[in-house]
């Protein structure tokens, strides 16, 4: 009875090559074939670790024939490693198709964990990490992007996105418009690389900062957004509500929220969000 090969799902560094784990090097050296998102991109990594294993491209535009070719090699007893351009395969890349078909055919799939930009950003962001939602890349066109953001405005989990550098300013401006300028965000850029930057603050202020420093519009970007206040926390009491309604009669929402926080002891972001929602109802 023939034995199938193993499909290894191998994480690779997102920037700093020192983050490559020994088990990943061993897997890439010993398999019969490496299925890489971009063989040219991966050649530097493989050369650095003296990995001479043959490679084949496997990406968004790979057809069913390429998938079948890899599966046949696995079924014939050869082991294959799946890698992406950087980080953990299947996190915002097409590798799930190969993994799904492999599992359906009884081929063993073994993860070799390592770097992941989403998790690296979350670990250093200082935002709630007990519950979070990874949303991948937002749509490139503004109307579609705003529609997605609007659908997530009441999501209480920390939201995580990947974003292209040439769109990050527009995205921050859209988030400020839809979520409110006071919603807390964290921008994690060029993680593990020379110009790594992790900065957080109110999204309106972050948009101004990125607009004033074009260096922040370069490289690989992870954007994290603090979740909305849970519905159970929205009852702020009769007196606090009275204070806010009086302030809103005289002041813009941002100023009313700031002063209301000092008078009531409640969080400014919470009062800002409350004011936005209640102003829409009136």
Report how far Cα 233 is from the mean position of its chain's Cα atoms. 27
pLDDT averaged per 10 residues in sequence order, the chain, 282 residues: 86 96 98 95 96 92 88 97 94 85 96 97 96 96 96 94 97 96 96 97 97 94 91 69 92 91 85 80 48
Q: Which has the closest alpha carbon to 228: 125, 150, 119?
A: 150
CATH code, 6-115:
3.40.1010.10
Contact 53, 100 (CB under 8 A): no
Please give the radius of gyration of the chain, using alpha carbons only, rounded to the nearest integer. Answer: 23
Question: Which CATH number is 118-225 given?
Answer: 3.30.950.10
pLDDT of residue 280: 56
Domains in the chain: boundaries: 6-115, 118-225, 232-281
pLDDT computed for residue 215 by the predictor: 93
What pLDDT score does 1 carry?
A: 41
Give the pLDDT confidence score for residue 32 in this predicted structure. Answer: 98
């Amino acid at each position: 009875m023939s034995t199938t090969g193993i499909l290894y799902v191998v994480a690779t560094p997102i920037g700093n090559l020192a983050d490559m784990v020994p088990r990943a090097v061993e897997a890439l050296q010993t398999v019969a074939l490496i299925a890489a998102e971009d063989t040219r991109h991966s050649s530097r990594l493989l050369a650095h670790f003296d990995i001479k294993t043959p490679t084949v491209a496997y990406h968004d535009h790979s057809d069913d024939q390429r998938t079948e070719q890899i599966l046949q090699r696995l079924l014939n007893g050869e082991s294959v490693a799946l890698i992406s351009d950087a980080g953990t395969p299947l996190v915002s890349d097409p590798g799930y198709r190969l993994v799904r078909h492999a599992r359906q055919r009884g081929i063993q799939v073994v993860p070799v964990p390592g770097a992941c930009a989403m998790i690296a950003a979350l670990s250093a962001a200082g935002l709630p990490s007990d519950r979070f939602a990874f949303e991948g890349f937002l749509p490139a066109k503004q109307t579609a992007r705003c529609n997605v953001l609007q659908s997530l405005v009441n999501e209480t989990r920390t939201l995580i996105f990947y974003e292209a550098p040439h769109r990050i300013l527009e995205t921050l401006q859209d988030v400020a418009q839809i979520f409110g300028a006071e919603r807390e965000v964290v921008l994690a850029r060029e993680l593990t690389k020379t110009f790594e930057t992790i900065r957080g603050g109110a999204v309106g202020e972050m948009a101004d900062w990125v607009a004033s420093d074009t260096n922040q519009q370069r490289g690989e970007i992870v954007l994290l957004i603090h979740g909305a206040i849970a519905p159970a926390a929205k009852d702020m009491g009769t007196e606090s509500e009275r204070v806010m309604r009086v302030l809103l009669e005289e002041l813009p929402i941002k100023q009313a929220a700031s002063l209301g926080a000092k008078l009531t002891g409640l969080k400014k972001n919470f009062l800002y969000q409350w004011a936005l929602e209640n102003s829409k109802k009136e």
